[in-house]
């Protein structure tokens, strides 16, 4: 056996990934099925001179990590449905102020308190549009314990590099299950730090835009004085009601994500080269879909799997190309059809898209997917 | 080796998830692929609880048990709820101190008074899960006794080694 092989939970892999990426500040409020992440951070961060704070609620937790991020820390919070709903206002503030932060959502069945220990994928659209107003956002979706580790690192790197909130969207199955993993060593992990100003403090303009479209971010308490506001603001950081300033800020925020889209969009294809039936699935459901592909292939049915790893922004160009080559697309999801809407929007001119939706607290089993494939064939 | 799917069921607080983790860790020690998952209600104690473990040489895609090769049932509710889902010629281990009058023609049924033995021989019912996982490994030989012992010792709280190893021996002796 490999000396490094361990049987660990997805939630633990997520916490360890955050630490490996340099997260040294966690604020949160415990909620099933995400609680283990807070527990592990509370044990591990003090050993690394980091800080763990259990706040009075989720709103405060989200605000707290934004504050810590402004001082230069890499930050994380973790929650589930009801808690993520509460965080939304502050997430919008992080979008507007371009504050790097990572929010882990271990999805449970909703709405409301719903099913605390039941798996679901019902927060996909909330991740995209949970906070009000137009805003770009990044959401990553792991399918395995190993990927909980690697994608949390990616999420922290994206947050730092692009100055944005990033969601890591686990589901209860991926968060709670244990799998054998051999995690990479620290020297095999790429860690990205945010760009900081190189000018003297008196010359610093916090939202001065260079070619990168990503303004340099000064740590509070280092002599750089700047104003942070959820109002539209100009390059000094102070509020502005000037339509040209507002328009420019909006356009730049959108252009920033477009500029780095090639780096942000992650996906995986399995058996898609000659596929006639394409499954589009993510999170734990992608594992059922992969098993379904294996079963269908042994029966001579040419099935393949497209697994978006970055679900927001949605990797639509590559999927559109694939859609032009297949006869049918099926989207299995543990919700009433959320990413399905996106797949349908992208692919409906190219091929027929059907959904397989399940919201009874149970996972979608491979034979349910194979049955659906045989039905549409 | 063949793929093994185990379902360990009972009520919350009986240590079934811990038993599942120990079984999984024993398989990791032997270099096998493992996925362990669970389902339980919002209650901390009581309520139906199950832990599932899949052990294979190959990559495991779907992480949940479809139909188990072996079912452990440590409560009447669990036996009623899960007792009909078992592979043809599969194994059902019943804690006969909790379950009586159970029948399933498809499976080989092994009745062991697991909780009573834990109480009588060790004086602590909380080691019943170790007796159960020991009997399970003895029956299936899915991992070796040595790997199981190693996994138990690395998982249990310090100071409980003696009683847990005694539980391991009791479970093993029942089968072998």
The pLDDT tens digits of the residues spanning A71-80 come to 999 999 999 9
CATH number at residue B97: 3.40.920.10
Question: What integer is the mean pLDDT of A228-251?
Answer: 96
Q: What is the pLDDT of residue A1?
A: 46
Nearest to B35 among A1, A5, A177 (CB): A177
The percent of residues in chain A predicted with pLDDT above 70, rounded, is 99
Q: For domain A6-188, which architecture applies? A: 3-Layer(aba) Sandwich (3.40)
Alpha carbon distance A286, A85 (integer Å): 25
Give the residue ranges of DSSP H helices in A73-216: 81-97, 124-129, 145-162, 172-176
State the Cα–Cα distance between residues A372 and A336, nearest whole angstrom. Answer: 16
For residue A293, CA distances in Å to A188, A271, A276, A289, A374 come to: 32, 8, 11, 6, 12
Mean pLDDT for A334-361 is 97
Confidence of residue A373 (pLDDT cuts 50, 70, 90): very high
**Closest by CA position to A10, among listed A166, A152, A120, A185:** A152
B36·A177 Cβ contact <8 A: yes
| Chain B nearest CA to A248, separation (Å) | 47
- Distance from the A362 Cα atom to the nearest Cα atom in chain B, whole angstroms: 10
Q: CA separation (Å) from A238 to A135, A242, A364?
A: 20, 12, 50
Model confidence band, residue A2 (pLDDT cutoffs 50, 70, 90): low
Q: Which residues contact A34 (CB under 8 A, 6 or more apart)?
A: A11, A78, A79, A80, A83, A104, A105, A106, A170, A175
The confidence band for A195, taking pLDDT boundaries of 50, 70 and 90, is very high
Does residue A221 register a pLDDT over 80?
yes
Query: What is the spatial distance between Cα A92 and Cα A253, in angstroms, rounded to a whole number?
Result: 13
Which pLDDT does position B44 carry in this prediction? 58
Look up the domain containing B52 and give its range: 4-175
Q: Which chain B residue is nearest to residue A177, measuring alpha carbons?
A: B37
| Percent of all residues in chain A with a pLDDT value above 90, rounded to a whole number | 98
Within 8 A of B28 by CB-CB distance, chain A residues are 1, 5-7, 180
The low-confidence residues of chain B, meaning pLDDT below 50, are none
Q: Do A180 and B34 touch (CB under 8 A)?
A: yes
Q: Which residues in B lie closer than 8 A to residue A294 (C-beta atoms)? A: 61
pLDDT at B45: 65
Nearest alpha carbon to residue B63 among B91, B41, B34 = B34
Indicate the number of domains in chain B.
1
Question: Angle at CA A95, nearest 5°, toward A92 and A101?
Answer: 100
Q: What is the mean pLDDT of residues A214-220?
A: 98
How near does any CA of chain B get to the CA of A292, in Å? Answer: 9
**Chain A partners of B61 at a C-beta cutoff of 8 Å?**
287-288, 290-291, 294, 366
Task: Tell me which chain A residues have a C-beta less than 8 angstroms from the C-beta of B62.
Answer: 287-288, 291, 365-366
Residue B65 near chain A (CB below 8 Å): no
Burial pattern A65-82, b for ≥16 Cβ within 10 A else e, equals: bbbbbbebbbbbbbbbbb
Please say whether the dihedral angle defined by the alpha carbons of residues A34, A191, A182 and A45, taken in this order, is positive or negative.
negative
Mutate to test the interface with A, among B21, B30, B61 (most CBs of A within 10 A): B61
Which three-class secondary structure state does DSSP give residue A71? coil
Whether the Cβ atoms of residue A162 and residue A260 lie closer than 8 Å to each other: yes
* Contact yes or no for A7 and B28 at CB 8 A: yes
Asked if B36 has any chain A CB less than 8 Å from its own CB, the reply is: yes
For chain A, domain boundaries:
6-188, 201-262, 268-376
Question: Under an 8 A CB cutoff, do A1 and B29 touch?
Answer: yes
The strand pairing partners of B94, in sequence order, are: B73, B111
B24 touches chain A (CB under 8 A): yes
Residue of B nearest to A118 (CA): B39
- Mutating which of B12, B28, B32 best tests the A interface, going by the most A Cβ atoms within 10 A? B28
**Within 10 Å of residue A308's Cβ, how many Cβ atoms?**
27
Beta-strand relationship, A23-28 and A74-79: parallel
A17 closest CA partner among A112, A151, A135? A151
pLDDT, residue B46, reads 67
- List, in order, residues 6 or more apart from B68 with CB less than 8 Å away: B5, B6, B7, B52, B85, B86, B87, B90
Q: Whole-angstrom Cα distance, residue A51 to residue B161?
A: 34
Decide if B3 touches A, using CB distance below 8 A: no
Please check whether residue B175 is in contact with residue B138, taking contact to mean a CB–CB distance below 8 angstroms: yes
pLDDT in tens, A256-297: 999 999 999 999 999 999 999 999 999 999 999 999 999 999
Q: Quick one: closest CA in A to B38, which residue?
A: A177
B25 Cβ under 8 Å from any chain A Cβ: yes
**Which letter, b or e, does each residue of A32-52 get, where b requires 16 or more Cβ atoms within 10 Å of its Cβ?**
bbbbbbbebbbebbeeeebbb
Distance to chain B for A32, nearest Cα, Å: 9
Alpha-carbon distance B55 to nearest alpha carbon in chain A (angstroms): 10
pLDDT tens digits, one per residue of A109-168: 999 999 999 999 999 999 999 999 999 999 999 999 999 999 999 999 999 999 999 999
Pick the CATH number of A268-376 from 3.40.50.920, 1.10.1040.10, 3.40.50.2000, 3.60.20.40: 3.40.50.920
Q: If you ran DSSP here, which 8-state letter would residue B126 be given?
A: G
In this complex, how many residue pairs, one in chain A and one in chain B, have their CB atoms less than 8 Å apart? Answer: 65
Looking at the complex, report in whole angstroms how far the Cα of residue B29 sits from the nearest Cα belonging to chain A: 6
**Which chain B residue has its CA at the smallest distance from A367's CA?**
B66
């Amino acid at each position: 056996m490999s000396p490094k092989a361990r049987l660990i939970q997805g939630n633990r892999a997520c916490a360890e990934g955050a630490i490996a990426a340099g997260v040294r500040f966690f604020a949160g409020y415990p909620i099933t099925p995400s609680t283990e992440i807070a527990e592990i951070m509370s044990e591990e961060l003090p050993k690394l001179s980091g800080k763990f704070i259990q706040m009075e609620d989720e709103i405060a937790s989200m605000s707290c990590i934004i504050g810590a991020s402004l001082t230069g820390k890499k930050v994380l919070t973790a929650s589930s449905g009801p808690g993520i709903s509460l965080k939304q206002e502050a997430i919008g503030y992080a979008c507007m102020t371009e504050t790097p932060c990572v929010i882990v959502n271990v999805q449970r069945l909703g709405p409301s308190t719903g099913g605390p220990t039941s798996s679901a994928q019902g927060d996909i659209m909330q991740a995209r549009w949970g906070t009000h107003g137009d805003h770009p956002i990044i959401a990553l979706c792991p399918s395995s314990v190993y990927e909980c580790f690697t994608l949390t690192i990616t999420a922290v790197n994206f947050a730092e590099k692009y100055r944005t909130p990033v969601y890591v969207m686990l589901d209860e199955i991926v968060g709670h299950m244990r799998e054998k993993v051999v995690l990479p060593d620290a020297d095999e992990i790429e860690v990205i730090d945010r760009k900081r100003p190189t000018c003297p403090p008196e010359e610093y303009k916090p939202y001065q835009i260079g070619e990168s479209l990503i303004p340099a971010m000064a740590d509070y308490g280092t002599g750089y004085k700047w104003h942070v506001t959820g109002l539209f603001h100009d390059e000094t950081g102070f509020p502005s009601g000037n339509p040209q300033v507002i328009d420019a800020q909006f356009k730049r925020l959108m252009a920033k994500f477009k500029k780095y889209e090639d780096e942000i969009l992650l996906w995986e294809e399995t058996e898609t080269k000659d596929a006639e039936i394409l499954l589009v699935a993510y999170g734990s459901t992608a594992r059922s879909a992969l098993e379904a592909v294996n079963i269908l292939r042994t029966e001579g049915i040419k099935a393949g799997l497209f697994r978006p790893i970055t679900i927001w922004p949605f990797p639509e160009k590559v999927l559109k190309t694939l859609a032009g080559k297949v006869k049918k697309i099926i989207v299995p999801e543990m919700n009433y059809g959320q990413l399905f809407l996106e797949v349908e929007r992208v692919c409906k001119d190219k091929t027929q898209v059907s959904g397989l939706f399940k919201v009874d607290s149970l996972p979608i089993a491979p034979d349910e997917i194979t049955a659906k494939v045989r039905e549409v064939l | 080796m063949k793929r093994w799917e185990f379902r360990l069921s009972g009520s919350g607080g009986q240590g079934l998830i811990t038993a599942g983790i120990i079984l999984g860790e024993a398989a990791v020690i032997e270099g096998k692929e493992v996925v362990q998952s669970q389902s339980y209600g919002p209650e901390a104690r009581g309520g139906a609880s199950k832990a599932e473990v899949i052990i294979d040489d190959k990559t495991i895609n779907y992480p949940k048990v479809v139909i188990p090769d072996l079912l452990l049932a440590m409560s009447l509710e669990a036996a009623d709820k899960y007792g009909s889902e078992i592979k043809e010629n599969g194994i059902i281990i019943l804690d006969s101190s909790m379950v009586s009058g159970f029948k399933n023609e498809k499976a080989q049924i092994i009745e062991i008074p697991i909780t009573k033995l834990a109480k009588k021989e060790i004086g602590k019912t909380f080691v019943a899960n170790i007796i159960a996982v020991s009997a399970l490994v003895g029956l299936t030989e899915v991992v070796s006794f040595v790997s199981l012992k190693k996994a138990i010792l690395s998982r249990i709280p310090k100071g409980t080694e003696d009683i847990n190893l005694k539980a391991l021996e009791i479970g093993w002796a029942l089968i072998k």
